[in-house]
Structure formats: C-alpha cells, structure tokens
C-alpha cells in the first residue's frame, strides 16, 4: 500500500494541460509547407512512394502521404514539414496542401452534420475497427486515452460494443477479409452515428493502394465525418480533430 502511494507520488503530473497548444518534441512531420521555388517537378513527383505529390502547381495530398519525409530531404528548400499536428479535417479537399500556402488545416463548418454537435458535444463514445491496420494507428488511438493525452477528460472514449457507440473509427486500408465484419459493426451502431478515418491507410489505402486484397466499397456508401492523416496518426491530431468536430459553434 505505502509502496504504491510512493510510486504515485513519484509520477508527478503527467497529463498535457492544454491539448490545443501543446508542442510536440523534435522533428515531427506534420503539415507541410511548400515554397514557390522552381524545382524539377517531375523528379519530385517521382520520389513519392504513394503518389501523394502532384505537379503544376505542386501539391501534397495528406490523405495519401505516408510522411516518409523523403521529398523534404531531397528538396529541403521546396518542401518543409512543420510540427503543426492539427491536420485533421472533414473536407477531403482540405487535405491537399498547395504550394505557396501556409494556412492551418481545419474543418469546414458547412460539412458538419447538425446532429453531431447537438448529440455528441459533451460525450462521444467510439467503436474502433481495425481493418488491415498495421497496429500503429491502433497504438496511437490507445495512447489518446493514456495518462499523458487523457482524452477521457473531454468525454471522448472508446467503448467495447458498437451498441454503446456513437460512431466508428476505422484504421487500415480495409481488407476484403474485414469488409463484412466492418459492415456488421457499423450497422450495429445506433443512429445518429459518425465515421472517422484514422491514418493514411484508411483514407486512401496508403502504400497498400491498389492491392487486390482490399475492398474499400464501404467508404463509397457513407459520408465521412473526419479524416485524420498520419502514418500513424499522432494522438494530438486525433484529439484536436475530434474536438473541432463535436464542439458547439456559436
């Protein structure tokens, strides 16, 4: 008992006080900034493993980018990854970062369904479905609820049953073998319900795009309420994105 109390005392304060302004350590690859410098575009486009870069004018699609960092290493004056982790949005177009633009990625209020803030602003229960995820986004989603990020303080929690959930968080490129379980899980969630795609694999297939082992039909059927890019997602990206989605707007 005393040992345990001593251990508690030794931990100090571990939680991050302000989720929206916290700084991430080191050289995190968050929102890229692309300069208008003239470079060999074709070569730059060719570097990218997931066709996330398009030319004329140059842009990076964060829904396809696996944040390998190689483009920025090859063309450091053209592309810089900033530590801005707030890159979640509900607008697929906003994930495409154009050259010469240095603006935050945010949500498009027009696209947020009304029932989301009226039902979920104080409490949101989510069911996670991993459909071919490599375990990394899953680990980061778990980290959202640890003592550091402590997402529970905002009333956002992961639950064990779809029947208790207000929405589904999908990770992974959606394998054919998981297509049916995903559908069954989604159908079991009571209305109204939301869909969040966590990680580049879920948003576009990532490095697995085009694999014959995938079945992404599910995504064509429903409106996606939030895209959270990353490989894996950063807990701060996820929490801030979800908060922006559910908090009441004036």
Check binding of 97 to ligand SF4 (CB under 6 A).
no
Q: How far is the CB of 63 from ligand SF4 (least distance, A)?
A: 11
Least spacing, CB of residue 87 vs ligand SF4, in Å? 12
State yes or no: residue 239 binds ligand SF4 (CB under 6 A).
Answer: no
List residues near other proteins by CB under 8 A: 3-4, 6-8, 10-11, 14, 24-29, 47, 49-50, 66-70, 73, 81, 128-143, 146-148, 158, 160-161, 172-173, 175-178, 180-181, 185, 201, 206-208, 210-214, 231-232, 234
Q: Applying CB under 6 A, does 203 fall inside the site for ligand SF4?
A: no
Residue 108 interacting partner from other proteins, ligand SF4, none (CB closer than 5 to 8 Å by kind): none
With CB under 5 to 8 Å by kind, the binding choice for 86 among ligand SF4, other proteins, none is none
The smaller minimum CB distance to other proteins, of residues 207 and 219, is found at 207
Query: What track of x and - describes contact with ligand SF4 for positions 10 through 49 (by CB under 6 A)?
Result: -------------------------------------xxx
Give the chain as a 3 state SS string. Answer: CHHHHHHHHHHCCCCCCCCCCCCCCCCCCCCEEECCCCCCHHHHHHHCCCCCEECCCCEEECCCCCCCCHHHHHCCCCEEECCCCCCCECCHHHHEEECCCCCCCCCCHHHCCHHHHHHHCCCEEEEEEECCCCCHHHHHHHHHCCCCCCHHHHCEEECCCHHHCCEEEEECCCEHHHHHHHHHHHHHCCCCCEEEEECHHHHHCHHHCCCCCECCHHHHHCCCCEEECCCCCCHHHHHHHHHHHHCCCC
């Amino acid at each position: 008992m005393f040992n345990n109390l001593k251990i508690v005392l030794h931990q100090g304060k571990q939680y991050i006080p302000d989720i929206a302004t916290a700084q991430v350590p080191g050289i995190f690859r968050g929102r890229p900034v692309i300069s208008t410098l003239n470079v060999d575009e074709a070569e730059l486009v060719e570097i990218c493993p997931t066709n996330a870069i398009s030319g004329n004018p140059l842009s990076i699609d964060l829904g396809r980018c696996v944040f390998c960092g190689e483009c920025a290493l090859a063309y450091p004056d053209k592309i810089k990854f900033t530590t801005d982790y707030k890159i979640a949005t509900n607008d697929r177009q906003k994930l495409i970062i154009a050259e010469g633009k240095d603006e935050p990625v945010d949500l498009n209020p027009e696209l947020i369904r009304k029932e989301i803030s009226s039902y979920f602003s104080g409490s949101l229960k989510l069911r996670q479905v991993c459909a071919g995820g490599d375990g990394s986004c899953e680990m980061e989603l778990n980290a959202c609820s640890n003592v550091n990020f402590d997402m529970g303080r905002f009333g956002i929690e992961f639950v064990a049953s779809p029947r208790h959930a207000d929405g589904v968080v999908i990770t992974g490129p959606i394998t054919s073998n998981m297509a049916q379980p995903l559908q069954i899980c989604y159908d079991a969630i009571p209305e109204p319900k939301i869909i969040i795609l966590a990680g580049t694999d879920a948003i576009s297939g990532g490095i697995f795009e085009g694999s014959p082992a995938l079945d992404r039909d599910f995504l064509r059927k429903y409106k996606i309420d939030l895209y959270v890019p990353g490989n894996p997602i950063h807990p701060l990206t996820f929490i801030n994105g979800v908060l922006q989605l559910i908090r009441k707007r004036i």
